[in-house]
Every structure is written in C-alpha cells, then in structure tokens.
Amino acid sequence: MRAADVTSHAFGATVEARPDPVIHVFIEADAGGRRPARANTQRIRQASDRIRQLDRAVDRQRGVMTTNLLSLPRDQRLAGRTAIVTGSSSGIGEAIAHVLAASGAHVVVHGRDVDRAEAVAAAITGGGGAASVVTGDLAESPAAARAFAAQAAEALGGWVDVLVNNAGIFPIGPTPELSDDDVAALLATNVRVPHDLVGALAPGMVERGSGAIVNITSWMAHVGTPNVGLYPATKSALEHLTQAWAAEFGPRGVRVNAVAPGATLTPGNASALEILKMMTAVSPAGQPGRPIDIAHAVRFLASDEASYIHGQVLSVDGGIVAARVG
C-alpha cells in the first residue's frame, strides 16, 4: 500500500472562490495516486439530477414536501471544523456531507465510485461549501482503512474534528445460504472499518482535547427479523463499540454517539418504496424516513449543542421500534 500525497485542499472558515475546490485522492491496494478535480457544471448536474429524481419519487408516492440538498439553509455552527463522512457518495452519507458542509464544516466525501464522490463534492463546493474527495475500498484491508484516514486528515489540513462512520453494506438471506464472502464483507465493512478508523483518528482528537464520532447503526439492531441475521448483528456490535468508545475517549474530550436510522428512502432503494411504505405504515410517522432526517441528527451530535451527550444511540426511525399505531 502506497499512500498518495495531498498537495492542497479546499478549506476556510469563510468560503471563497478557489481555483481547485476539490481534491481527489484515490487509494487502492499496492498503488496510489492523486487526481485533482474541479467543481464543474457536469458534476453538479449529476448530483442535482440524482437528488431531484429521489425528490420526485418521494413527492409522487408520499405527497409530501422534501428537502433539496442543493438549497439547504446555511449556518456557522460547525465553522472552522473538519469532518470525514464515509460512504458519502450517495444516500444517507451524501445528505450528511451536505448538511455538515452547510453548517460550515470542511467535509471529506468518501466512496468507491470516483465519479459519484466527485459529483457530490462538486455540488457542495458549487453551493459555497468546502469539500475534498478521498476514495477507496476501506474494507480491502486494515492498511487501506488507515491509509484513507491519513490521506483524509491531510486533505483536511492535518486534523479531523468529526468522524461519521456511515459506510455499510446490507447482504441478506437465510443464514445457511449467506455466502462466506458476504459474511466476511459484512464483518469487515460494518465492524472492522469503523474500528480501524477510530483507532487511527481518535488519538489525534484526544491530543487536541476535542472531537466527535458519530456511528450510523440501524433500527434493525433492536429487533429480530427472519432471514436478516448478521446485518443487524453488525449494527448491534457498532452500538456496543459506541458505548465502549464513549467510556474510552469521553474523559479525554472526544464524544462518541450513534444514530440509528429507520426504514429510509434513498436513491439506492427507491425501487423498494412500496415495501418501505408497508414497513412503516404502522409506525407513528406512518411513512419512510428521508436521508436529510438522519443528517440533521448527525449534525446535532457533532455540534456543541450535544456537548453533554456521550455513548447514546439516537433513534431516527419514525418510532418504528418504540410504538405501533395499528
């Protein structure tokens, strides 16, 4: 594994026009390199089209208003801070990246698809935010995850204030039929990668005396579901790690919490909208969640507004676990 150099980055307490607002660092096994990318109309259009496509699907099926990630209200609650959001080239992670950037954070957008990650970062910078791109398969090996952590920190100017462990995979099926490869991938992506990243980045937060880590888990960690055994178990493991890390790092200034989304409609599962509607019909909310709902909860936990919150799992699930209305 050879890590690539990051020679410049996009960051400022105030956002200004910059010649190179997006830095892309591609990390892969036994190779490395840097490919700068500029925010351009094509990439912004790609992100915009994806966001509007989901908005239209939700509007058509639910008849409710949605939040466009390209027109979020801006504030300064995270001004001057840096954030890594893994798995942020689409879906919930994309919304988290946009919301943190809209509150002033310089965000590293991560994913395995270079074009999609660059489109998200270009949309953020095109709207006046600060973003960099570091891509790669974090589950490839512990070395790959640690190389990513180092490159992302360098892209952010040498330090990380907020880590959002969002990347995850969801292979499902009867226990006897779940392949060995799926089992290994689930454990690596959903448990080992967050562990590797916290191990790599939390010491720097401790040294500075401050930081926030937010793990994305799932409502399914709290219920037993047939044919979906291991995925919820990995999320339960991450919730336990959230509590353990709160005990380990909290006394030294690093807050660790988690957000447990409910059945959430994303571009990746839009084709399953009817299933999501059936799942949520008996919940108090009565409808699927939106990525922006999760993103707002993450921003809260990352901000000073949550300064007295440690080791908690904030359920943003429309009440699907806590209550039934029919």
Is position 43 within any domain? no
Question: Helix 41-62 to helix 273-280 angle, to the nearest 10 degrees?
Answer: 50
Q: What confidence tier does 299 reach under pLDDT thresholds 50, 70, 90?
A: very high
Task: Say how many C-beta atoms besides its own lie within 10 A of residue 67's C-beta.
Answer: 19
In a domain, residue 102? The reply is yes
Beta-carbon count within 10 A of 249 CB: 20
308 an active-site residue? Answer: no
DSSP H helical segments within the chain, as ranges? 41-62, 91-102, 114-126, 142-155, 180-187, 193-208, 230-249, 273-280, 291-302
Torsion angle of the four alpha carbons 169, 175, 179, 185, in this order, in degrees rounded to the nearest 10: 30
Tell me whether residue 56 is in a domain: no
- Tens of pLDDT, residue by residue over 152-166, are 999 999 999 999 999
Q: Which two tokens stand for residue 283?
A: 């919940």
- Catalytically annotated residue among 219, 231, 245, 249: 231
Contact 83, 130 (CB under 8 A): no
Euclidean distance between CA atoms 248 and 241, whole angstroms: 10
Task: List 31's β-bridge partners, or say none.
Answer: 28
> What is the rounded radius of gyration, in angstroms, for the C-alpha atoms of the chain?
19
Say if residue 13's pLDDT is above 80: no
DSSP letter string over 241-253? HHHHHHHHHGGGT
Mean pLDDT of all residues in 103-129: 97
Could you give the percent of the chain with pLDDT greater than 90?
A: 76
Q: What angle do CA 131, 137, 141 make, to 5 degrees?
A: 130
- CB atoms inside a 10 Å sphere around CB 293: 20
Which range of residues forms the domain containing residue 229? 67-110+155-316
- Block residue for tokens 């943003």: 316
Question: What pLDDT shows up at residue 68?
Answer: 83
The overall pTM is greater than 0.75: yes
Residue 12 counted as domain residue: no
Which two structure tokens, joined as six digits, stand for 98?
């946009």
pLDDT value at 211 more than 80 = yes
pLDDT at 23: 55
For the domain that residue 233 is a member of, what is the CATH number?
A: 3.40.50.720
Lookup result for tokens 């466009």: 68
What is the rounded distance in angstroms from the CA atom of residue 76 to the CA atom of residue 105? Answer: 8
Over residues 15-58, the pLDDT tens digits come to: 222 334 455 565 443 333 333 344 455 655 555 565 555 554 44
* Mean confidence (pLDDT) of the chain: 85
H/E run at residue 69: none
The arithmetic mean of pLDDT across residues 168-184, rounded, is 95
Q: Is residue 32 part of a domain?
A: no
How many helices and strands in the chain, by DSSP H and E?
9, 9
Q: Is the pLDDT of residue 103 over 90?
A: yes
Q: Has residue 140 been placed in a domain?
A: no
Contact at 8 Å (CB) between 106 and 186?
Answer: no
Which pLDDT score is estimated for 94? 97
Q: Which two tokens stand for residue 15?
A: 């956002």
Q: Supply the pLDDT for residue 191.
A: 98
Report how many domains make up the chain. 1
In-domain check, residue 237: yes
Residue 288 falls within a domain, yes or no?
A: yes
Please answer whether residues 136 and 144 qualify as being in contact, where contact means their C-beta atoms are separated by less than 8 angstroms.
yes
Q: Identify the pLDDT of residue 3.
A: 33
Sign of CA dihedral 140, 145, 151, 157: positive
- Give the residue, 310 or 326, on which the prediction is more confident: 310
**Higher local confidence (pLDDT), 241 or 61:** 241
